[in-house]
Structure 1
């Protein structure tokens, strides 16, 4: 995880308030909570047995969504 502190790398003597220059989190507790959440999401994704969706299919689906949104936006402007 680039740019995010991980629970196992936070020293015991670290202050509970983190510097906004060094961390995206206000406290060590927030950093640890994010780390637990993130790891759970990754584990759930790895355990997911549904078939993978090919990249080209995802890109085609997103292009359709974007195109529909652009058409809807243009219609509102008219």
Structure 2
């Protein structure tokens, strides 16, 4: 990874960044080739809102 700068990255090393990149690409590939039905946008947004509400400081 040419020009790697830990100042501009959340990773401490090039190896950490490359490891994350490989993991992320594998997750995307799995999702793109999945034959399972998708979740409607409105349903996902409702699920996220519920998580936000559950974790909101009281």
The TM-score normalised by the length of structure 1 is: 0.53
How many residues are matched?
57
Q: TM-score, normalised by structure 2?
A: 0.68
Relative contact order (C-alpha < 8 Å, sep 6+): which is higher? 1
Q: Which has the larger radius of gyration?
A: 1
In proportion to residue count, which structure has more helix? 2
RMSD: 2.7
Structure 2 regions of 5+ residues with no counterpart? none
Residue ranges of structure 1 left out of the alignment (5+ in a row): 1-9
